[in-house]
Amino acid sequence: MIAVEDILWAPIDVLKTPSPDVDPLIDSDALQEAQLLDLRIHALSSTVGLLFELRTALQFEDGNAAVLVMRGSRQVSWRASGRDGERTAWSVVGSVTHLRSGLLNLDIRLSPSASIEILGASAEFYVIDVPEIGEAPPDYCSEREEHIRNGLPSWDSPFTLLQASHLDG
């Protein structure tokens, strides 16, 4: 099995993989209630990766995590209210992808009070299954750090690819 981070280095061939029933690259608000766990900027390749928790998502029945990758990234913006270091479940409340000057523009709104905007040449979306993380996400407020980390997908997690899509700008 490969690790989630390997997707940032090279795209997976999506031709043999089923498309997601709901695709955030073309369907507005497809990511509702998914939680953003991490945002990784891979400067060497101008690639941005977003790692999502799907066990809380409204529109995904398959998979427990997702990765959205923007290649040929030109701009990345993260805006958030101050959280003073406390763990926060950044839940998606809205998302849209549209064309801007021949590039893809991804806008994601999160609760509480945050947003991400990424501008790039192409995007991929992967629905994955990370084994052994359980049926429900951990409680970020009351559980120990080790239990939280073991109960969430991470960039180092091995995974099985379930669904995938690709979109060029």
Is pLDDT of 130 > 90? yes
126-162 burial, b for 16+ CB within 10 Å, e for fewer? bbbebeebeeebbeeeeeeeeebeebbbbbebebebb
pTM of the model: 0.94
- Residue 3 per-residue DSSP state: B
pLDDT at 128: 97
Mean pLDDT value of segment 49-60: 96
Per the CB < 8 A criterion, the answer to whether 49 and 69 are in contact is yes
Is pLDDT of 14 > 80? no
pLDDT at 18: 94
pLDDT at 141: 80
pLDDT at 10: 86
- The sign one gets for the Cα dihedral 87, 136, 14, 167 is negative
Is pLDDT of 102 > 80? yes
- pLDDT above 90 as % of the chain: 75
pLDDT at 32: 96
